[in-house]
Structure 1
């Protein structure tokens, strides 16, 4: 028994996979550069390795009990899907047949690479001569390169250093050429070329990248040779801008794919962005009404997605893709919802939005975003989008030019809500919330006038969203409801964790604890809530006393403090600041009477009196 571990294919578009690390039996991941400890015992279903494609990260599980007998790939190396990366078999099993299978595959891959090189190099004298020599060689004189016994990392290193694999003596398993073999040959070639500086191949490559003259680098390696670290040190000291390198982040895996796709999109599509703003008061009211009426947690974004779908229904040219010079309009409204994950921005797809209720959209969107943030999404979650919505408003962004997610032809950016003065009834001024939008579109496919009409429809839906809500929820439910005062009845709800929500009549606010106490810091602590009530009560009571005595008092600020910072409160103090020209005696009297009339201060226990002071603003 036993089997060959192969690089899995993580999606139809996957071209190469990178080995992130081999997993030891106890779950410890080997980092790049460490030696893989072959001989680890594995159980069926246990993680053997972690790999990454251009779009996702996945774990490779053991198909059966056994031992990790062979590894053909080191962390950081990339190979096409289906390539052998290791062998799992019982400790006493003969794996000769499995090794032969892998060697045959390597030989086939090497032959394919050779054919491709010969085709690409037709007309090159040097390559033609090499091909000729290879064709005349006898079967018994095959080199390791001829036999395909070259590790993927060695082949890549040979390309970087310009080393011809013909004639390189392999010191790896059964004569396979390793990366060290390639670098050894490169070292020899460098010495024969008459270079005065002793430097490792990696150091020479790094010097080229950073533009460092090897002669200026102080060698700390064997017999004074220059290492890669020596080159980087020389680069830092030679930087005439006074900079020192903190960290380098090479593009690989998902980040490389994101950069490639967005770069391709920006080069290929003719990007134009139009901006429009909508009055968002009705949108917020509709979301609140739906959240109260439905079992699902409904947010403004959920109602907005239905508004976008309604606009796409009226303007189907935007619910489309553009490939092979063909504009394809789709029936389904599959909306990509941009999510910021550790590796970059992805857009999992919420499917058939036009066919779903608001409750279903709210529930499925939360599940989709949650899976993306937890890294539990699949390739299918990212495929098949027809339009994308990206929201940077939650980060305070007021305007931006989103880049189209190919092959789609448009993307909607949502900005931060802005409160603006608006002419109200009787020529008065009222403050209203507005929501700005940025629509980027491919001008090859649709025109600016088309985009303007799309945004006009979207704004209409946002400003009149009630038709998007289920039956039974209408404008009167939100706008016609009278404010309900708490009547000194307050409810605190704690669903989980160390945070919750306070409801008092028609009003509500959050409470929470610091992260150090297990909270998430999304609201004031219960003690802070009490201090806020005390400060508010004092300010109103002082105001009442000032007006009762016709004292000219402008602004009143009250700051309350409690000590210690955590645990049981042992001291409470309040400072009242008043804007007034009244004499000190009058203000002293007003503050003292205000404290006596404050019902909240009367709630303090007998052994915890309020330390009250006042000052002028």
Structure 2
């Protein structure tokens, strides 16, 4: 009997939720076949079988939270699909000889499953970073015994290390905390409500957004850009552009190129904090926020500075399709240096985007609306205007640099001919 375990997925992913079983009990599977879809905080991944055989037992049903190394199913290498294990056809004496070990094995499995269930309940009641969970497994420490120093109650690797040295007292108030939500769930609403379990990705998004607001000194500065020149240029070039590159000339390539130009002049917006060091990134991997049914994801356009306008448009289009079809891979989402988000596609006029940590800058685009503008000669003209919002981490970026960065983006967008020619 072989086990199907949750494999190592990526350095930053140590847990997930069983989203869907792709096979059912009694099915014949071959080595390498995808057997289950696992939902992680970033993307959905498929777990493949390490051995051929018949799936005899599913230990973790859909919706179960699991961690790397957890046993989720069992495979009989000698079994036959649609039936019981092959030892049914053997003679009675052989069956009797195996009967006692089989009973013992089932007893042990039952005890192990009960123990695992108890441990899983404790593990998943605890709020801890993936790195902390990994460290706790390495040291053999029960997370439920650790008192976090984080005011939000989130256990971090340093809390685990402290507990391993005896410097961390067990939590005493945890049982009381468990009961309080249950009471409030029954009495909080007098009128009908519907309760829905949050997906792992939505839970992660919620936690990360709160963490960013507590850890970063986030501030937002605003400006507006006259889109007249870009819209005129797109109108003039759109047909030739499609004929030559087989892709439409959209707004995102202009904004991506403008951001890259501004980042080269203000490199602190392309940095991040690691311990007591500033890491200035010498590459331009631009994240483009995409809204999906499961929540917001930010696939990354790699080396966007080396792509021309057509290359940027094609890459954004490909990543957008992969996001909508749930085909994004982990490497599509990791390592971005700056993010662009476009709330204007949903009609937003103005917003304050939240940083995509550990990045220190995010540009928010908004709806284009015609407004009466006073021109340099004091005449009044109707122009297509867009509000821009730049959120930044004040720990690294001073207000002066942030304002000038956004002004530079505005200048590049309002004179896009040079931007298009320079690429």
TM-score category of the 2 structures, normalised to the smaller one? 0.7 to 0.9
Q: Judge conservation of contact 1:21–1:50 (CA < 8 Å) in 2.
A: yes
Q: Judge conservation of contact 1:79–1:152 (CA < 8 Å) in 2.
A: no
Question: How far off its partner does 1:385 sit?
Answer: 0.5
1:272 aligns with 2:259: no
Alignment-derived partner of residue 238 in structure 2: 291
Compared with structure 1, are the counterparts of its residues 287 and 331 closer, same or farther at alpha carbon in structure 2 (3 Å cutoff)?
farther
Question: How far off its partner does 1:347 sit?
Answer: 0.6
What secondary structure sits across from 1:459 in the alignment?
A: helix
Matches within 5 A, 1:308-347: 308-347=259-298
What secondary structure sits across from 1:367 in the alignment?
A: helix
Matches within 5 A, 1:130-529: 150-157=114-121, 208-211=180-183, 235=186, 243-245=191-193, 247-294=194-241, 295=245, 296-423=247-374, 428-470=379-421
In angstroms, what is the RMSD of aligned CA positions?
A: 3.4
Question: How far off its partner does 1:211 sit?
Answer: 2.4
Alignment counterpart, residue 73 of structure 2, candidates 66, 86, 93: 86
Whole-angstrom distance in 1 between the partners of 2:124 and 2:33:
36
Question: How far off its partner does 1:18 sit?
Answer: 1.9
Structure with larger RCO (C-alpha < 8 A, sep 6+): 2
Alignment-derived partner of residue 44 in structure 2: 57
What secondary structure sits across from 2:384 in the alignment?
A: strand
Whole-angstrom distance in 2 between the partners of 1:42 and 1:81:
22
Question: How far off its partner does 1:254 sit?
Answer: 1.2
Compared with structure 1, are the counterparts of its residues 158 and 459 closer, same or farther at alpha carbon in structure 2 (3 Å cutoff)?
closer
Alignment-derived partner of residue 5 in structure 1: 4
Q: Judge conservation of contact 1:389–1:413 (CA < 8 Å) in 2.
A: yes
Q: Judge conservation of contact 1:273–1:438 (CA < 8 Å) in 2.
A: yes
Question: How far off its partner does 1:282 sit?
Answer: 0.8
Q: Judge conservation of contact 1:321–1:328 (CA < 8 Å) in 2.
A: yes
Q: Judge conservation of contact 1:10–1:379 (CA < 8 Å) in 2.
A: no
What secondary structure sits across from 1:389 in the alignment?
A: strand
Whole-angstrom distance in 2 between the partners of 1:160 and 1:395:
35
Is the deviation greater in 377-386 or in 427-436?
427-436
Task: Give CA deviations for 1:394-422 in whole Å, capped at 9, x if unaligned.
Answer: 11111111111111111111111121113
Whole-angstrom distance in 2 between the partners of 1:435 and 1:149:
58
Q: Judge conservation of contact 1:70–1:87 (CA < 8 Å) in 2.
A: yes
Whole-angstrom distance in 2 between the partners of 1:414 and 1:64:
50
What secondary structure sits across from 1:211 in the alignment?
A: helix
Whole-angstrom distance in 2 between the partners of 1:7 and 1:307:
43
Q: Judge conservation of contact 1:78–1:152 (CA < 8 Å) in 2.
A: no
Q: Judge conservation of contact 1:275–1:436 (CA < 8 Å) in 2.
A: yes
Q: Judge conservation of contact 2:42–2:333 (CA < 8 Å) in 1.
A: no
Whole-angstrom distance in 1 between the partners of 2:233 and 2:27:
59
Q: Judge conservation of contact 2:4–2:50 (CA < 8 Å) in 1.
A: no
Q: TM-score, normalised by structure 2?
A: 0.74
Alignment counterpart, residue 41 of structure 1, candidates 28, 33, 53: 28
Q: Judge conservation of contact 1:321–1:407 (CA < 8 Å) in 2.
A: yes
Compared with structure 1, are the counterparts of its residues 154 and 75 closer, same or farther at alpha carbon in structure 2 (3 Å cutoff)?
farther
Question: How far off its partner does 1:460 sit?
Answer: 0.6
Q: Which has the larger radius of gyration?
A: 1
Task: Give CA deviations for 1:411-437 in whole Å, capped at 9, x if unaligned.
Answer: 111111121113469865321111111
Whole-angstrom distance in 2 between the partners of 1:307 and 1:56:
29
The alignment covers a number of residue pairs equal to 350
Where does structure 2 lack aligned partners over 5 or more consecutive residues?
80-84, 88-100, 126-175
